[in-house]
Amino acid sequence: MKINRELCDVCGTCVSVCPVDAIIVSEFKVDIDNMKCINCLNCLKVCPIKAITEDK
Amino acid sequence: MNIKNRYDVVVIGAGPAGSVAARFAAENGASVLMLERDREPGIPVRCAEGVSHNGIAPFIDIDQRWIASKIDVAKLHSPNGETAIMRNNGTGYVLERRIFDTALCELAAEKGALLVTKADALDLVWENDKIIGVKYKYLGEIRTVKCDIVIGADGVESRVGRWAGIDTSLRLEDIDTCVQYTLAGIDVEKDTCEFYFGKEVSPGGYVWIFPKSDHTANVGIGIAGHLAHEKGPKEFLDEFMQKRFPNATVTYTVYGGVPTAAALKELVKDNVMIVGDAAHQVNPITGGGIVQAMIAARSAGKVAAEAVKQKRFDAKFLKKYTKEWDKTLGDTQKVIFKMKEKFMKLTDERFNGIVDFCQKVPADKFSLKALFTEAVKGDPKLMMDVAKAFVVSKIKLK
Ligand SMILES: Cc1cc2nc3c(=O)[nH]c(=O)nc-3n(C[C@H](O)[C@H](O)[C@H](O)COP(=O)(O)OP(=O)(O)OC[C@H]3O[C@@H](n4cnc5c(N)ncnc54)[C@H](O)[C@@H]3O)c2cc1C
Ligand code: SF4
Ligand code: SF4
């Protein structure tokens, strides 16, 4: 999963639906730990600004 | 500011949940540290800022500094363009949350709690399988603080529960993905909240207009997570804007998520309590969470202080908070959650029917109970549940 930092508003919505706690928020940015990620696409579906894409 | 390296209670997050928990823990004798990641409580605002007077009055004296407008009327718009007016049975407000959240923190500080902003909690600290503190980053430096109780009030993006071993992840159906614009240069009625329903406008959710004056308003949308994939909330809201406010200026944009689940079953672990959005303590139909967070946090703060007095930090003792939550709002939220599942499946025809029904009720006779009862018509079991919820709970739906 890849986050477009230009779009991301650091709102944390994606974190709440990640089943494996692979998303980390801090004051200014959000990071996805692709080692933990199981590609369920939940985060991508709920992001209000569609800042997450599949990193193929 | 002198940050010690040990407190009885460390609260993570300084939203309404965190500041109220901190206040009641401190007032009842505990030493309390509150860690907030952002530079100031309340910002960025991720909220439509609507509350009821009766909901917030027990927690804070009403102060014009953080009231934008007073709401007496709700206007419902059906998918077929009909409207119904209902006079609220009790005043509502649209807040200035930035100032409101800070005011709540000031009350916590008066009782002796210490707030540290720009302090990002990174993890819990464990020793012999027991939580003994919190690791956090402050001004670029990693620090630890020891404590007996951690209160996770870290909002929708909560991780404290997960760190403690509670699965807090939401199903896609149980999160509303939201976009909101604060608009200027528009004409609205300062005392009237408006709501739009229907699958063309807002699938599995609604559009709201919460006026902040006669010429400014929070206009936003929440749509159910599982329905947001193809076309997201921004696209829906932009379409709505084209129709209703094509010439408005946007002075502020909010993105965010609202949990619309039943609250977490597991609110405590040994040495840990979870409150507010972090615990999904939000009305699953309205998405209102400010008052819910404060009510839960008051219980959590008091129980934490009692735990400190009795030196009982085990989950069994802390469950007093869970029990009190169930009694005050938790049981009601379970029923509202069932109603929400039903709401999500309502067809546009049913919404038209509901607004039609509302039109026939005199504006001042209107109650949310009547509305919900109409909405669940044809499902006798759920109707009974709704009736029970209203009898059991003395607290009105937001
Ligand atoms: C678009 C939108 C509209 C809404 N409209 C309404 C409404 O009209 N009425 C209503 O009642 N509710 C509304 N809500 C819901 C309401 O905003 C929340 O329920 C309420 O803010 C919950 O309070 P809280 O204290 O639990 O969480 P928050 O207010 O989110 O506070 C959590 C705090 O924790 C901090 N934090 C998180 N992680 C960490 C960490 N690791 N370390 C340090 N700090 C951390 C965050 O920075 C934040 O300040 C809305 C929500 C959204 C998204
Ligand atoms: S795709 Fe799924 S597992 Fe991966 S980060 Fe997103 S929500 Fe988490
Ligand atoms: S949901 Fe989207 S905008 Fe919000 S933090 Fe995640 S990636 Fe950023």
pLDDT in tens, chain B (398 residues): 899 999 999 999 999 999 999 999 999 999 999 999 999 998 899 999 999 999 999 999 999 999 999 999 989 899 999 998 888 767 899 999 999 999 999 999 999 999 999 999 999 999 999 999 999 999 999 999 999 999 999 999 999 999 999 999 999 999 999 999 999 999 999 999 999 999 999 998 899 999 999 999 999 999 999 999 889 999 999 999 999 999 999 999 999 999 999 999 999 999 999 999 999 999 999 999 999 999 999 999 999 999 999 999 999 999 999 999 999 999 999 988 988 888 888 888 888 888 888 788 776 666 666 777 777 776 666 666 666 655 544 444 43
**Beta carbons of B179 and A49 less than 8 Å apart:** yes
Per-residue confidence (pLDDT) for residue B396, from 0 to 100: 44
pLDDT of residue B14: 98
Domains of chain A: 2-53 (3.30.70.20)
Are A24 and A33 spatial neighbours (Cβ–Cβ below 8 Å)?
yes
Q: Is B158 on the interface with A (CB under 8 A)?
A: yes
Q: For residue B303, with 0-12 CB atoms within 10 Å meaning exposed, 13-18 middle and 19 or more buried, which class applies? A: buried
ipTM of the complex: 0.95
Termini Cα distance of chain A: 8
The alpha-carbon gap from A34 to the nearest alpha carbon of chain B, in Å, equals 17
Given this model, what pLDDT does residue B384 score? 64
CB contact under 8 A, B120 and A26: yes
Instruction: Give pLDDT, residue B46.
Output: 95
Which of A25, A26, A48 is opposite residue B177, by nearest beta carbon? A48
Phi, psi angle pair for B62, to nearest 5°: -65, 130
Distance CA B101, CA B10 (A): 18
Within 8 A of B229 by CB-CB distance, chain A residues are 45
Closest residue in B to A49 (Cα) is: B234
Cβ contacts of A18 on chain B, cutoff 8 Å: 169
Select the residue of A19, A46, A48 nearest B234 (Cβ to Cβ): A48
Whether residue B282 has its Cβ less than 6 Å from ligand 1: yes
Cβ(B42)–Cβ(B60) under 8 Å?
no
Q: What residues of chain B lie within 8 A of the CB of A22, using their CB?
A: none
Q: How is chain B split into domains, by residue range?
A: 9-46+98-170+261-337, 171-259, 340-392
What are the pLDDT digits (tens) for B80-138? 999 988 887 678 999 999 999 999 999 999 999 999 999 999 999 999 999 999 999 99
A interface mutation test: which of B46, B170, B202 has the most A CBs within 10 A? B170
Tokens for B140, please give them: 């670029």
Measured from the CA of A10, which atom of ligand 3 is nearest? 5
What is the topology classification, in CATH, of domain B9-46+98-170+261-337? FAD/NAD(P)-binding domain (3.50.50)
Partner-chain contact B38 A27, CB within 8 Å: yes
CB atoms A16 and B37 under 8 Å: no
Among B103, B137, B138, residue whose Cα is nearest residue B19:
B103
pLDDT band at A53 (very low <50, low <70, confident <90, very high): very high
The per-residue pLDDT for B398 is 39
Instruction: Count the neighbouring beta carbons within 10 Å of the beta carbon of residue B34.
Output: 30
Calculate how far, in angstroms, residue B125's C-alpha sits from the geometric centre of ligand 3: 27
Decide: B357 and B374 in contact? Cβ < 8 Å.
yes
**What superfamily does domain B171-259 belong to in CATH?**
D-Amino Acid Oxidase, subunit A, domain 2 (3.30.9.10)
DSSP state for residue B330 in the 8-state scheme: I
Inter-chain touch B169–A9, beta carbons under 8 Å: no
Tell which one of B10, B24, B35, B47 to mutate to probe ligand 1, the residue whose CB is within 8 A of the most ligand atoms.
Answer: B47
Phi, psi of B196 (to 5 degrees): -120, 135
Give the per-residue pLDDT at B393.
Answer: 46
Closest ligand 1 atom to residue B120 Cα is: 42
**Best of A7, A15, A31, A49 to mutate (most B CBs within 10 Å, chain B):** A15
Q: Which ligand is nearest to the CA of B175?
A: 1
CA distances from B370 to B210, B287, B359 (A): 23, 19, 12
Angle at B339 between CA B335 and CA B344, to 5 degrees: 150
Q: Chain A: nearest CA to B277, how far in angstroms?
A: 10
Which among B298, B299, B295 has a CA at the least distance from the CA of B281? B295
